Structure 1
Amino acid sequence: MPTIDSSFVVNHTCLRIKDPKVSLPFYTENFGLKLISVFPFPDKKFTLYMLGYENDAEVASKNWAEREGVLELCHNHGVEDDDSYELNNGNGTEDRGFGHICISVDNIEVAERTLLAKGVKFQKKLSDGRQKNIAFALDPNGYWIELIEHGQGKTATLSSPSTYKFNHTMIRVKDAEKSLDFYKKVLGLKVLATSVHEGAKFTLYFLGYEHDPEYKENSETGESKAIKEGLIELTHNWGTESDPEFKGYHNGNSTEGGAKQGFGHTCVSCKDPARFCKEINDEFGEENIDWSVKWNQGGMKEIAFIRDPDGYSIEIIAHDLFKNGN
């Protein structure tokens, strides 16, 4: 197995957006995220906006690429003026794949009331459906934002964004066994919690980095999981792995068959990504790894992109990437 040292974090999730003048204030004013870095690439005609929570001095002192729980919004220049431009939120009847991002809050009932008062639209409110402890807001591009409660510092009448966490990113997977093998053995993540829903016939796997050698997998419940940042949630709908009619999930990037893009990738950051990528090839054989961009060989240097069994992209970067600008 590749060497996984204490520097490894799930750094960010990338979503394409139509108009930064709309999306940036939506996330900063409604959810308390801070715009921590902006990287324009005029020659490539796109700009990256990095947002995260800076609720303590230690986090605020780190370069964006060293942190957990960063949201990367990717704006391709000019699409804001294209009336025909649409994004895929991953939850339609076709081209499903990416599900949602999740923000955990101190008091979910107050947070929901506050967001509704600000005009935020909801896919599911707390009062809807059978699950009364989660809600789903909608961002300006139609992406789903799950709300869960961590309860830390909870008061009866207030909800403070200073307590919020970018908890996880959910993607659907065809074969849970293959996906877990990839995320655990290739990327070195651990299963923090598993949630089995027999009635609805699906299972949720929450993965993240835990560097304590004594850590026991599947030991997180409730608040301990909700207070974390940078988790990846794998959703497995039972039977897809053996259904010959199931065509697989959309990875967010393909335009094959007229599919629309939306979700871009998740990202692993560490101190020595060049060594990590080499160790992946040495351990599993380069011919057995689906690299969409090999280390330092793409148009942007000092990054790599690896694809999981469903074709979702995971970027691999160093903690000091773009530390002094692009």
Structure 2
Amino acid sequence: MATDTTKYKFNHSMLRVKDPKESLKFYEHLGMKLVNKIENPDNKYDLYFLAYDSPSAVSHGKHWTDREGIIELTHNHGTENDPEYKIVNGNTEPHRGFGHVCVSVDNIQAACARLENAGYRFQKKLTDGRMHNIAFALDPDSYWVEIISYNSVEATADVKDTSLETYRMNHTMIRVKDQEKSLTFYKDVMGMKLKRTVENPGAKFNLYFLGYGPESDGSPNGTSKSEGLLELTWNYGTESEADFKYHNGNEQPQGFGHICVSVDDLDAACARFEEKGVNWKKRLTDGRMKDIAFVLDPDNYWIEIIQNEGFKSRVKW
């Protein structure tokens, strides 16, 4: 059976967490709901999958593999009681790589006030700096969570309410060394479409937003209500530095783990990746787990490949 990349979904982004109770409380305060939990007591870890699942959510009621915009929290047993255990958030030298996840909201002023009133910290408040249309909250492990609005800041200036049911897990950002290599990989190999490009020559960086689904008009409004976008951040000149590399989150110290794409036919998709000459972290046939594979992107970020159970049943997750 052939595989159709137009049926692929950017399913989730995995973050390791120190204390799942605190992390769950934060993301549930942001309106996310637990849509699946996988316990693995033998290997001493648990996986928590959170997504927006209100009746108005994009993927309401669907199987967790048949969604986009999920955050997977990975908890290794005992870390919550280990004073020496720390997460690297991907934004500090020399371990930069993963940057943030992003939630788009109806009213950014009210959404940020609600987070601040609950006692959560910010890396950047709306009033900080020159950009007053984005904020960065900090989750309990100091991962950055960007907050953007799909309505103009001016339109919501006098509105005091925010509706969690309208929120979207909009995108995940990773930094890339060579934008041409990364764009080619995510478009030609992973089958994503370039939805929007933001060039900032003054600050010497570009942003590229990719994803599955329909074409976008390239405008901020065209992508701000989306779920499951991948933002690639390219800082000019890194592609010319022979020894330059980003931290993929899986080498010590650890933090971000991987992004995940669910596919229509896992065996056919992996056969296609093989034909494309990808670098594998784990083939389907490696190890004991025969229902997941991991591909490496040009910066050695891990991309998990799983079966979308909405197309065919393979695993009793």
Instruction: Tell me if the contact between 1:192 and 1:207 (Cα under 8 Å) persists in the aligned partners.
Output: yes
Which residue of the partner structure matches residue 47 of structure 2? 48
1:313 aligns with 2:316: no
Match of 1:276 in 2: 269
Q: Could you say if the C-alpha distance between residues 23 and 243 of structure 1 is closer, same or farther in structure 2, counting changes exceeding 3 Å?
A: same
Matches within 5 A, 1:62-101: 62-101=62-101
CA distance in 1, matches of 2:5, 2:297: 21
| Structure 2 residue 300 is matched with structure 1 residue 301 | no
Other-structure match for 2:27: 27
Measured in 2, the distance between the counterparts of 1:296 and 1:63 equals 25
Partner AA of 2:186 in structure 1 = Y
**1:147 counterpart SS class:** strand
Name the counterpart of 1:151: 151
Checking the alignment, whether the CA contact within 8 Å between 1:296 and 1:303 is kept in structure 2 is no
Contact kept, 8 Å, 2:177 with 2:244, in 1: the verdict is no
More displaced 10-residue stretch of structure 1: 56-65 or 176-185: 56-65
Distance of 2:314 and 2:138 partners within structure 1? 32
Aligned: 1:238 with 2:236: yes
| Equivalences, count | 310
Deviations 1:48-73 (A, max 9, x none): 00000012277232110110101100
1:79, 1:67 → 2: CA distance? Answer: 29
Report the Cα distance in structure 2 between the residues aligned to 1:178 and 1:324, rounded to whole angstroms: 33
Point out the more displaced range, 58-67 or 45-54.
58-67
Structure-1 separation of matches of 2:121 and 2:96: 21
Mapping of residues 164-243 of structure 1, within 5 Å:
164-210=167-213, 212=214, 215=215, 219-243=217-241
Give SS of 1:25's match.
Answer: helix
Secondary structure class of the residue paired with 1:277: helix
TM-score, length of structure 2 as denominator length: 0.93
* Aligned counterparts of 2:197 and 2:42: Cα–Cα separation in 1: 44
Partner of 1:126: 126
* CA distance, structure 1, for counterparts of residue 280 and residue 291 of structure 2: 14
Q: Give the secondary structure class of the aligned counterpart of 1:146.
A: strand
Q: Give the unaligned 5+ runs of structure 1.
A: none
Provide, for residues 248-270 of structure 1, a one-character-per-residue CA deviation record: whole Å limited to 9, x for no partner.
Answer: 10000012xxxx10000001102
TM-score when normalising by structure 1: 0.90
SS at structure 2 position matched to 1:60:
coil
**Equivalent residues of 2:3, 2:265 under 8 A apart:** no
1:34 and 1:54 in contact (8 A); partners too: yes
8 Å CA contact 1:267, 1:314 repeated in 2: yes
1:187 partner amino acid: M
The residue identity in structure 1 corresponding to 2:287 is G
Query: Following the alignment from structure 1 to structure 2, what is the Cα–Cα distance between the partners of residues 60 and 40?
Result: 23
SS where residue 7 of structure 2 aligns? coil
Alpha-carbon distance in structure 2 between the residues aligned to 1:64 and 1:161: 20
Amino acid at match of 2:259: T
| Counterpart residue type for residue 201 of structure 1 | K
**Which residue does 2:245 correspond to in 1?**
248
- Alignment match, 1:261: 254
Contact 1:104 1:166 in 2 (8 A): yes
d(CA) in 1 for partners of 2:178, 2:233 = 10
Does 70-79 or 219-228 show the bigger shift?
A: 219-228
Q: Which runs of 5+ in 2 are unaligned?
A: none
8 Å contact kept, 1:39–1:325 = no
The one-character-per-residue Cα deviations of 1:64-84 (angstroms, maximum 9, x if unpaired) are 011010110000011111110
1:229 is paired with a residue whose SS is coil
Aligned mates of 2:138, 2:264 — CA distance in 1: 35
1:106 aligns with 106
SS at match of 1:299: coil
Checking the alignment, whether the CA contact within 8 Å between 1:32 and 1:162 is kept in structure 2 is: yes
**Alpha-carbon contact 1:63-1:323 (below 8 Å) kept:** no
Once the two structures are superposed, residues 132-170 of structure 1 have per-residue CA deviations (whole angstroms, 9 ceiling, x without a partner) of 110000000010000000129968121111010000000
Amino acid at match of 2:226: K
2:68 and 2:290 mapped to 1: Cα distance?
22
Equivalent-residue separation in structure 1 for 2:229 and 2:3 (angstroms): 20
